[in-house]
Amino acid sequence: MNYNRVVCFDLEMCCWNENGKGITGEIIEIGLAEIDLAKQEIVKRAQYYVKPEQDEVSLFCTQLTGITPRKIEKQGRPLQDVMKSMIKNFGGANKIYASWGRDDIIFRNECKEKGIDFPFVEFVNLATLYRMQHRLREKRIGHRAAQEALNIEWEGRQHSGYTDAYNLAKLALVML
C-alpha cells in the first residue's frame, strides 16, 4: 500500500428531480485527482465518461452536471473499460482512494451489479474525517462549504466529477 499517495475521486450519476426529490442512477462520469502527501501537491488528474447501460442523461442532469447525452454518446465508454484505465493510470489495490461521502459504496455496488471486479480496497471518507476534525458530530456539511470554511478557493463548475475531484484533492492536502 502506498500511504504517500491518495487518489481523490468524485462520481457523477444519471439524475432526475421528481417532485423536488433528487434520484440517481448509473455512473456517467468519474473524476480523479491524485495527491502526493510528501510533496503536498496534486500530481495527476483524469476524467472518464461512462456509458450507462440502462439509464439516460436527463435534462435535469445536464443542467446540474453539464454532461449532455451527446457527450456521453461520443466520449463515454463502458464502466469495465473505464475501470481498466483507472487501474492502469492510478493503480488499484495499492492506492488509497478518498471521496466526500460514500461514493465508494455506490461505485462498488454498481460494479457488483454489472459483474465487474472491484480492485480498490482502501477508502477514506473525507466528509466524516472533516466532521471529526471540526467536532461537527451531528451536522452534515457539503464539500464546497467545508472547503470554503477553510479558506480554500473553489475552482470551476460544481457537479463536474473532474472539477470536484480536483477541489477535493486541494481540501485533502490540508486535511491529511
Q: What CATH number has the domain bearing residue 45? A: 3.30.420.10
Quote the domain boundaries for residue 126. Answer: 5-175
Which comes out higher in pLDDT, residue 22 or 144? 144
- Write out pLDDT tens, residues 148-176: 999 999 999 999 999 999 999 999 999 99
* pLDDT at res. 140: 86
Residue 162's Cβ-side half-sphere holds a number of Cα atoms within 13 Å equal to 11
* pLDDT at res. 19: 81
How many domains is the chain partitioned into structurally? 1
- Write out pLDDT tens, residues 13-68: 999 998 878 889 999 999 999 999 999 999 999 999 999 999 999 999 999 999 99
* CB-based contact 124:32 (threshold 8 Å): no
| Dihedral sign of CA atoms 83, 28, 48, 90 in order | negative
- Write out pLDDT tens, residues 102-129: 999 999 999 999 999 998 999 999 999 9
Confidence class of residue 1 from pLDDT cuts 50, 70 and 90?
confident
